[in-house]
Amino acid sequence: MRDIYMGANNDRKNKMTSKSDKSSTSKLKEKKSESMSVKDNIDRRRKKRISRKKKKEMRRKKIIASVIAVLAVITLIILIFNSIFVYNGKIANNIYIQGVNVSGMSRDDAIEELNKKFKVDNITFSYGEKKYTVKSEAVDLKYNIEDVVNEAYDYTREGSYYTDLYRYFSLNNKTLKKEISVVYNEGKMRDEIEKIAKGIDKEPVDATISIDGSIKTTKSSDGRKVNIDDTIMLLKKSIDNKKKETIPLKVEELKAEVQTSDVEKIDTVLGEYKTSFESSNEQRSYNVKKSAGVTDKILLMPGETFSYNSLTGKTNFENGYQEAPVIVNGELKPSAGGGVCQTSSTIFNAAMYAGMDIVSVTNHSSTLTYVPKGRDATVNDSGLDFKFKNDYENPVYLRNYIEGKTLRTVIYGAKSDKKNIEIKVEETDEDKNDGKISFKTYRIYKDSNGKEIKREYISGGEYKPIKK
């Protein structure tokens, strides 16, 4: 019974389990069905999205392709336009060079055309009736045709594309005119003119005078010189005006500084003075003669100044002067150039009598034997110089004559400049204590009757006794 009961219970349990399993299976199936339905919906939506994206992508690609196609067509049109009209290897429309229409020409054609029309000639210069030719090839003379053609060609090619395009179209309403010019090597041109100038240039020659017993003169002659800078300026002006003409050489006249008329005015003695160097030793006599020689035959033009030191140079051994006694600080000492002050003092006195303007004079520290007190002119290499100036309107001529042991200085000039002059030296009494002597030197101008007209102070100072 128990077994039957147990079996019956198991059957019930099995039936219940079977029902439960069926119910679970059914639910699973339902859930699975629902799950599959959701998944299908998701897949369908995803597929729709993908489909829309693909369609958009396709439309975008079509648009891009269309734009590219349009741009390609436009680019092709521009390239064709540029190659036919703008960048076609030819000069743009309405461009003229020196009046020649070069529109539509290649660079080579334009250069050839202009070279036919414009040819450089040799350059011709003239002076007086003579002409001088400079060959064009000698100075690299030519028209700058190639440069100007390149400028015309590049007018629609040298900027940005838009600038080039603007210039190209603007030439439909305007004309571009360009001028050519002549170019040459200025250095070579100057050399050629200098060669011509060598046959024209002439140095002026001064008139001369010589007086040895009688007055003799030579005539002056003026010179000339080609002004190369001014000539080149005339050449440039002619070239800029594109004139084929003969260029006159600019020649300047060079006046002789001493004209014939100047020396011919010298006809009389204005003043003279002489000193003796009889007691001088051989070396001192040599120095007197040497200094007299280098200060001889001096023509002094109006306004010019005579400088003794500039003519003698340094009176040292190097310049050929010999050793002889000189006064240094009141003492007699041997030194090179002893005796040259006798020459300067002799000239000083002649200059005073000739009416020269005494510019610079200094007396010695002690009195001398060859000139009176107050009428000496000391010089040295340390800067003491004797100078006088010709204030007349006519030249004067200075001569030094050595006559035995005598030095005579004569200043010649025009009769109209001759003056009646007396030299006066005022002395104070010798100081009994130190032996100093003070003095003042005057030049007195007199009229033809000997009456004083003017008194002029020349110099002053003092002398000290020579130390023994």
Q: Which residues contact residue 290 at a Cβ distance below 8 angstroms, ignoring those fewer than 6 apart? A: 320, 321, 340
Asked if residue 153 lies in contact with residue 107, where contact means CB atoms within 8 angstroms, the answer is yes
DSSP state of 355: T
Following DSSP, what letter does each residue of 187-226 receive, concatenated?
A: HHHHHHHHHHHHTT-B--B--EEEESSSEEEE--B-EEEE
User: In the predicted model, is pLDDT for residue 369 greater than 80?
Assistant: yes
- Going by their DSSP bridges, the two strands 247-248 and 142-143 should be labelled as unpaired
Q: Which residues contact residue 339 at a Cβ distance below 8 angstroms, ignoring those fewer than 6 apart? A: 277, 280, 283, 284, 285, 286, 287, 288, 291, 324
Q: Which of 67-81, 136-150, 267-281 has the highest mean predicted lDDT (pLDDT)?
A: 267-281
Asked if residue 311 lies in contact with residue 292, where contact means CB atoms within 8 angstroms, the answer is no
Kindly compute the dihedral angle of the four CA atoms of residues 23, 24, 25, 27, in this order, to the nearest 10 degrees. Answer: 90
SS3 324: strand
CA angle 91, 96, 101 (to 5 degrees): 75
CA angle 290, 467, 427 (to 5 degrees): 80
Spans of all domains in the chain: 189-261, 266-463
Smallest Cα–Cα separation from 434: which of 465, 466, 467? Answer: 465
Q: Which of 45-49, 98-102, 348-352 has the highest mean predicted lDDT (pLDDT)?
A: 348-352
239-286 residue pLDDT tens = 877 777 899 999 999 999 999 999 999 999 999 999 999 989 999 999
314-337 residue pLDDT tens = 999 999 999 998 887 667 888 888
- For the chain, the C-alpha Rg in angstroms (whole number) is 58
What span, in angstroms and rounded, lies between the C-alpha atoms of 290 and 342?
Answer: 12
Q: Which residues contact residue 226 at a Cβ distance below 8 angstroms, ignoring those fewer than 6 apart? A: 127, 193, 196, 197, 200, 201, 249, 250, 251, 252
User: In the predicted model, is pLDDT for residue 4 greater than 50?
Assistant: no
Cβ-in-10-Å burial (0-12, 13-18, 19+) of 306 comes to: buried
pLDDT, the chain, mean: 87
What span, in angstroms and rounded, lies between the C-alpha atoms of 18 and 209?
Answer: 169
Q: Is 191 left (phi over 0), alpha (psi -120 to 50) or beta?
A: alpha
Mean pLDDT of 186-208: 96
Asked if residue 218 lies in contact with residue 208, where contact means CB atoms within 8 angstroms, the answer is yes
pLDDT tier at 1, thresholds 50, 70, 90: very low
Asked if residue 357 lies in contact with residue 391, where contact means CB atoms within 8 angstroms, the answer is yes
